[in-house]
Amino acid sequence: MKKIAITTGDPAGIGSEITSKSFRFFELKKNIIFIVYGKIKIFKDGNPIEKIDRAEEAISPEKVYWIEIDDDKIEIGKPTRRSGEIAYKILERCSEDLNSRLIDAVVTCPVSKEAIHQSQPDFIGHTEFFAKRSGTKDVIMSFWGPHFNLALLTTHLAVAEVPGLLTKAFLETRFRLIYQEVCKLLKKPKIAMLAINPHAGESGIFGKEDILVKSVLDQLKESGIDIDGPFPADTFFSQHATKYNLVISAFHDQGLIPFKMLSMEEGVNVTLGLPYVRTSVDHGTAFDIAGTGKASEKSLLKAILFAEKLLFPTEQIKKRNYSIFAKYYDTYMSHVDYDKWVKFILEQYNKIHKENPKRILELACGTANVSCQLVKKGLQVDASDISAEMLKIAARKPFSPNLSQRDMIAEFPANTYDLVILLFDSINYVLQKPNIRILFDNVYNSLQKDGLFIYDLTTLKNCENNFDGFINIEEDEDEFFIHQSDFDSTNFIQKTHLTFFLKKGFLYSRKDEIHKQKIYKADEMVKLIGETNFQFKGIYSIGYDENLLSRETYILDRNFPRLFFVLEK
């Protein structure tokens, strides 16, 4: 079991907000415990948060822990000496626990160096702070993103001081450390060094530094440390960047200007050489938007996931559907008459119980359009989904239900719900029959006696008529979205490719999602239901009053695009 700390940075900045947003619907892992140092908002839904006094009290991976370090008199958006003192106190407390081996990694939110400097004049930045507190002589600032990775020879240093620092001994030490640390993250890394002077100094015509750099790199190559360069920085990114998976820059802005232009919100700051893992967001305190709810948590989430990757390098991080697509989901589903779906569901319940359900659970709720309608009717609704991005959208809606981040086949509280619903062919995403059985058993256990489970199934007719060979392209000024679907009749899998081209600065980035759905025949589903303890109450299709339970199953497959199954405990 590993423990990861998150420091929320300057309490007047956006650190608390992005931490709160990140962990509200974050998918907690069984082998990691998270501890927040600083300030966090507790939501009524999402992941449970427990306040503790000491890191040793954090014992369960099923909740987020919080060591509060704050001053409620601090005004959001206005950095002061006091906000700097709190930010520094957070770092002190966390570093003590890191040095005591009570935690294994730290992910840092931004601080104001100016605010901390008022009480701690020697403070330069996170990198130097953790190096000093851990007794580490040499550390490297590095940045990891989707387009290229970067390491800096120097940290937070005035440009005028850089040339005087670049001695042969300094360069050799730094290059060796970069190579050693990068080899832990990349197999057979290809590394390039940027020149310090324009045009690499033109053989010493203006600046001798690059001649020295070249001699050190040649010497290191003889000992197996292969770093190419120095390359003129003005042409490197247009001509050579794609050949390398790590770039070394001599000073801060030379490498970070292109990195942040390409990778903002997706880049992660990593301190190499420390005795523990330290990652960070790649942005600042954003005092101008602090407290407005506009701050994006994307970079922090990337930093958390990168810390997980460094702690568990062989473990694969799951790629979730409905991450990129979540943003477009409601627009894409705008044709759906949600009122009609809600009316149908409640009519099925009322038909049996002569009243509305008192407590409802919606599995795989997406952006919770159905649940919001049910809450609007005054009903108590819990809703869950595996996609944090879908849940974040749901949480912003009027009449939002009580939300949680869970897989649809997960266990829920026993004997709790009068009605469980699973809609919009979500059950088709369960590709294996044994997992369908797990789903049925978990839903059965979560229902009260006589409770109903209502779910829908997309059929062979719907798949062949509307999705096999389907392609759709949508675009606006800054985005392109391609939707392609095909049906594999050999294994009855419908595969949907979603491709997004998103404009970022001067460039477009490509993102892909692949959705797979199993097209179950009606007789397969009937047999699966027969293996459970449910009473099979009916099969319906919206627009048809008839209970289709007595119909031949092959007729259902070929004549109805969507079937609703009603089961009772």
Residue at 445 is within a domain: yes
Task: Flag whether pLDDT at 113 surpasses 80.
Answer: yes
Mean of pLDDT values over 364-388: 96
Residue at 378 is within a domain: yes
Task: Flag whether pLDDT at 89 surpasses 80.
Answer: yes
Domain count, the chain: 3
Q: Are 66 and 40 in contact (CB under 8 A)?
A: yes
| Confidence at residue 319, expressed as pLDDT on a 0 to 100 scale | 65
Residue at 29 is within a domain: yes
Residue at 241 is within a domain: yes
Mean of pLDDT values over 110-138: 94
Tell me the per-residue pLDDT of 270-288, one tens digit each, with 9 for 90 and over.
999 999 999 999 888 999 9
Percent of residues, the chain, with pLDDT higher than 90: 70
Q: Which residues contact 510 (CB under 8 A, 6 or more apart)?
A: 499, 500, 501, 502
318, 349, 375 - which closes a domain: 318
Task: Flag whether pLDDT at 553 surpasses 90.
Answer: no
Q: Are 8 and 40 in contact (CB under 8 A)?
A: yes
| Confidence at residue 317, expressed as pLDDT on a 0 to 100 scale | 66
CATH of the domain at 5: 3.40.718.10
Give the 3-state secondary structure of residue 552.
coil
| Confidence at residue 318, expressed as pLDDT on a 0 to 100 scale | 67
| Measured distance CA(200)–CA(194) in Å, rounded | 8
CATH of the domain at 364: 3.40.50.150
203 and 264, same domain (yes or no): yes
264 and 279, same domain (yes or no): no
Residue at 508 is within a domain: no
Q: Are 568 and 538 in contact (CB under 8 A)?
A: no
Task: Flag whether pLDDT at 206 surpasses 90.
Answer: no
303 and 349, same domain (yes or no): no
Residue at 205 is within a domain: yes
Tell me the per-residue pLDDT of 171-193, one tens digit each, with 9 for 90 and over.
999 999 999 989 888 888 999 99
330 and 308, same domain (yes or no): no
User: Which value, in Å, is the radius of gyration of the alpha carbons in the chain?
Assistant: 28
19-23, 38-42, 255-259: least confidently modelled range: 255-259
Q: How many CB atoms lie within 10 A of CB 133?
A: 16
- E strand residue ranges, 391-469: 402-405, 417-422, 447-458
- CA torsion 242-247-252-256 (nearest 10°) is 20
24 and 40, same domain (yes or no): yes
Secondary structure string (H, E, C) spanning 336-361: CCHHHHHHHHHHHHHHHHCCCCCEEE
In DSSP notation, 17-81 reads HHHHHHHHS----TTEEEEEEE--PPPSSSS-EEE-SSGGG---TTSEEEEE---TTPPTT---H
197 and 260, same domain (yes or no): yes
| Confidence at residue 445, expressed as pLDDT on a 0 to 100 scale | 97
Task: Flag whether pLDDT at 97 surpasses 70.
Answer: yes
For residue 46, the enclosing domain spans 1-135+274-318
Tell me the per-residue pLDDT of 419-438, one tens digit each, with 9 for 90 and over.
999 999 999 999 999 999 99
Task: Flag whether pLDDT at 201 surpasses 70.
Answer: no
Mean of pLDDT values over 123-150: 91
Residue at 80 is within a domain: yes
How does the average pLDDT of the chain come out, rounded? Answer: 91
252 and 287, same domain (yes or no): no
Query: Alpha helices of 240-368 — where are they, by DSSP H?
Result: 252-263, 298-311, 326-332, 338-353
| Confidence at residue 495, expressed as pLDDT on a 0 to 100 scale | 93
Tell me the per-residue pLDDT of 330-347, one tens digit each, with 9 for 90 and over.
988 999 999 999 999 999
Mean of pLDDT values over 148-160: 85
| Confidence at residue 463, expressed as pLDDT on a 0 to 100 scale | 86
410 and 548, same domain (yes or no): yes
Tell me the per-residue pLDDT of 450-488, one tens digit each, with 9 for 90 and over.
999 999 999 988 888 888 888 988 887 788 889 999 999
Q: How many CB atoms lie within 10 A of CB 114?
A: 13
Residue at 507 is within a domain: no
531 and 384, same domain (yes or no): yes
Mean of pLDDT values over 124-150: 91
| Confidence at residue 503, expressed as pLDDT on a 0 to 100 scale | 79
413 and 378, same domain (yes or no): yes
Tokens standing for 453?
């489970």
| Confidence at residue 270, expressed as pLDDT on a 0 to 100 scale | 94
283 and 267, same domain (yes or no): no
285 and 200, same domain (yes or no): no
What backbone phi and psi angles, to 5 degrees, belong to 482? -115, 125
259, 291, 318 - which closes a domain: 318
| Confidence at residue 61, expressed as pLDDT on a 0 to 100 scale | 95
Is there a cis peptide before residue 230, judged by omega within 30 degrees of 0? Answer: yes
What backbone phi and psi angles, to 5 degrees, belong to 246? -150, 135
